Amino acid sequence: MSKPKKTTIDNYLEKKDFAKAIKFCEDIEAISHGTDTKPMFHQQIILYLITNDTIGARFLYKRLPTEIKKTKVIDKLWELTKIMWNSESGGMLEIIPSINNFHWPDELKNLINILLEEIRQRMLKLIGSGYSTISISSLTMYLGLTDVDALSIVKPLGWKVTKDFVYPQPIPKPKKVEEKKDSLVDLTQFIMAFEKNQ
């Protein structure tokens, strides 16, 4: 039995290049009108949610054909979009169980796992910045994980753990030194080229 061939979107997902994956889906959607090419609506909405682009997800939903809107998967994705759009903490608590309790088609499971991981990372940032102490049971509820799995995620973050409680620390934002350095080089080259042409 041969391994299934990787698609372009799989390559983007492997590299976690969600922007290119979204662009790929949008390009497929654009060329699909009046052709045999099938749009990747499910993947496209999930990618929008992964990148927290609820506006993109909403606009895609609004332009979906009616027959596609009536499918269970699109209905569930629309429900998730609305929860994320409202972004109330109570709603966000519902999102992980809502994702876990739905039977996703095999071709979407990888993307759904990526979405779950992104949501957990967002929840960790919220917990780290909003709590000085949180019970282990609340932490596991927020993350949708078992005690063991939740603690294995927070310990490397330097969060102190006792028998029943976790003491979160704010998660530092990653430094984008290289991007700033590259931008400065680009700006310098632009100015030099501009001055040279005057």
Task: Count CA atoms closer than 13 A to 69's CA, side-chain side.
Answer: 10
Domain limits of the chain? 1-130, 132-198
Q: Is 124's pLDDT higher than 80?
A: yes
For 167, the token pair is 């003491």
Q: Is the per-residue pLDDT at 165 higher than 80?
A: yes
40-44: list long-range contacts, CB under 8 Å, 24+ apart.
40/9, 41/68, 41/74, 42/73, 42/74, 42/77, 42/105, 42/108, 43/9, 43/108, 43/111
Other beta carbons within 10 Å of 24: 20
Q: How far apart are CA 67 and CA 57, in angstroms?
A: 17
- Rounded Cα gap, residues 90 and 98, in angstroms: 13
Q: Which structure tokens are listed for 102?
A: 């739905």
Read off the tokens for 5: 């061939």
For the stretch 62-89, pLDDT in tens is 999 999 999 999 999 999 999 888 875 5
Q: Is this model's pTM higher than 0.75 or not?
A: yes
